[in-house]
Amino acid sequence: MKYAHIIFDLDGTLVDSASEIHEAAVAVCREHGLSIPSPEYIRTMTGSPPRLFFLDHGCSDADVEARVAEFRAHLATHAGDPGCVFPAVIPVLEHLQKHSIRISLATTKPSELAASLLERYGLAPFFAHIQGTDPPLQHKPHPDILHACMEKASPGAVAMVGDTIFDVEAAHNAGIDSIAVCSGAHSPERLTEARPTFLFASLQEIPGILELP
């Protein structure tokens, strides 16, 4: 397939950030006497709105937005370890960049936080556009943030790359192809049920489907 534009998810797709997310969630829960989420819970929930982390562990509706703000503040100061970047990521992004394929990011995180983390992960130079789920945009599987990425680009074939069914469903809802990778929150079986255009074990398989000279 000849894509002009590829949109990537962040957590579980480009970076194995579950431990960073878990650390931030645990810090907030301990501070406020909430029950402590397990690492497995966080891994399976990665990509979901973070308010669910706290509602599922005893936080009230009235307090949840404050807890989310504290969680994001912790990520802003503690996350972004380059060691979290999956080994295949930089070679794949370099390959796409070499062939003038536009690269965008579409993530649950706010745009400002996502941009800061990409800088620390060492990935920011590859991205033409960084799109977070900023109000009033809705979370995936709603296609809002994919549409926002596409509006910044020239017309052409587009694909969404992600590790969850929400990424696949967002691509379906945006009318574009989806490339599911089995590197993060959701199992191959669950991803298959969402009917992605392609299903790969890792990002390193992506160049094989591109019609490049």
Q: Catalytic residues, which ones?
A: 9
- DSSP count for the chain of H helices, then E strands: 9, 6
Q: Residue 163 to residues 44, 57, 77: CA-CA distances in angstroms?
A: 11, 24, 25
User: Are 97 and 103 in contact, with CB atoms under 8 Å apart?
Assistant: yes
User: Are 75 and 24 in contact, with CB atoms under 8 Å apart?
Assistant: yes
Nearest to 163 by CA among 193, 134, 203, 128: 203
Sign of the alpha-carbon torsion through 130, 78, 135, 142: positive
